[in-house]
């Protein structure tokens, strides 16, 4: 009787999810706090919408640019370390071979057991460099186009998140009435977003959702209170 094939399912979209989390969390929180703060000082939804849209535009550009620069920095760091490893396997091959042996010893292999693998790597310079990059330095090769994709994902996630708290102000002229709807919709969105984030990151969905709601709620309360106090 044939055995059932063992298929391992691993979540492999970690970087994309991280970008969505970065964009959505800030997009939900910052415009929400801004709108709540302005509502504490003025009653016109039009002004709040104008300020909110301006913030979303500026915030999405800034966040996207930050994501782009971070991804470019990772790629440049990887390329720099890769060049160094290529030089070292040529100029100091014995030192690099000892480092490979030490890595295997960390997994419980003896020098004799790892000698065959070390010898094979020395005959394959490209694989040797790739091995050192991953197991000595702990670096994964960045995907081509990662920087631009990261920037767009973060920016678009910020826009989507930011439009949620502003939606009530777009539909209601009275800012104070809109605030109540915005609070309800945004807190529910934060709860759902936090739970989904927890699902993808392996954390408790309930705990992650409540933490996200707490952070967003505190930001909005602080902004609203300061605006009321100043006005």
pTM over cut 0.85: no
pLDDT of residue 35: 84
Residue 161 near residue 32, CB atoms below 8 Å? no
Is the predicted pLDDT of residue 156 greater than 80, yes or no? yes
Domain ranges of the chain: 15-75+146-230, 80-136
The tens digit of pLDDT for each residue in 168-187 reads 898 888 888 888 888 888 88
Phi, psi values for residue 174, rounded to 5°:
-85, 115
Residue 188 has pLDDT above 80, yes or no: yes
| Contact criterion met (CB below 8 Å) for 59 and 31 | yes
In this prediction, residue 54 carries a pLDDT of: 92
Would you state the pLDDT for residue 225?
72
For residue 105, the surrounding DSSP H or E stretch is helix 93-106
> In the prediction, which pLDDT does 197 show?
73
CA 174 from chain centre, in angstroms, equals: 36
- Confidence tier at 11 by pLDDT (50, 70, 90): very low
**Would you state the pLDDT for residue 9?**
47
Residue 231 pLDDT: 58
For 75-128, what is each residue's pLDDT tens digit? Answer: 888 888 888 888 887 888 788 888 888 888 777 777 777 787 778 887 888 888
- What residues have CB less than 8 Å from 37, skipping those under 6 apart? 220, 223, 224, 226, 227
CA separation for the pair 224, 220 (Å, rounded): 6
Q: Which range among 12-16, 28-32, 55-59, 117-121 shows the weakest confidence by mean pLDDT? A: 12-16
CA-to-CA distance for 109 and 7, rounded, in angstroms?
Answer: 28
Give the lowest-confidence range in 81-90, 136-145, 146-155, 174-183: 136-145
Per-residue pLDDT tens over the stretch 39-85: 877 777 888 899 889 999 998 999 899 888 988 888 888 888 888 88
What is the band of 195 on the pLDDT scale with cuts at 50, 70, 90?
Answer: confident
């Amino acid at each position: 009787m044939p055995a059932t094939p063992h298929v391992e399912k691993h979540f492999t979209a970690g970087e994309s999810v991280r970008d969505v989390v970065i964009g959505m969390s800030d997009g939900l929180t910052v415009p929400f706090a801004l709108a709540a703060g302005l509502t504490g000082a003025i009653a016109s939804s039009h002004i709040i919408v104008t300020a909110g849209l301006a913030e979303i535009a500026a915030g999405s550009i800034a966040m996207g640019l930050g994501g782009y620069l971070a991804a470019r920095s990772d790629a440049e760091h990887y390329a720099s370390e890769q060049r160094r490893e290529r030089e070292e396997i040529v100029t100091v091959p014995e030192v690099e071979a000892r480092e490979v042996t030490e890595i295997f010893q960390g997994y419980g292999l003896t020098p004799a057991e790892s000698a065959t693998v070390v010898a094979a790597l020395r005959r394959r310079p490209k694989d040797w460099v790739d091995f050192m990059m991953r197991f000595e330095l702990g670096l994964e090769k960045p995907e081509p186009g990662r920087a631009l994709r990261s920037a767009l994902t973060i920016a678009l996630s910020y826009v989507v998140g930011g439009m949620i708290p502003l939606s009530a102000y777009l539909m209601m002229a009275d800012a104070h009435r809109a605030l109540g709807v915005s609070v309800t919709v945004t807190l529910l969105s934060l709860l759902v977003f936090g739970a989904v984030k927890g699902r993808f990151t392996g954390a408790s969905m309930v705990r992650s959702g409540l933490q996200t709601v707490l952070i967003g709620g505190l930001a909005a309360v602080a902004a609203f209170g300061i605006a009321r106090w100043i006005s």
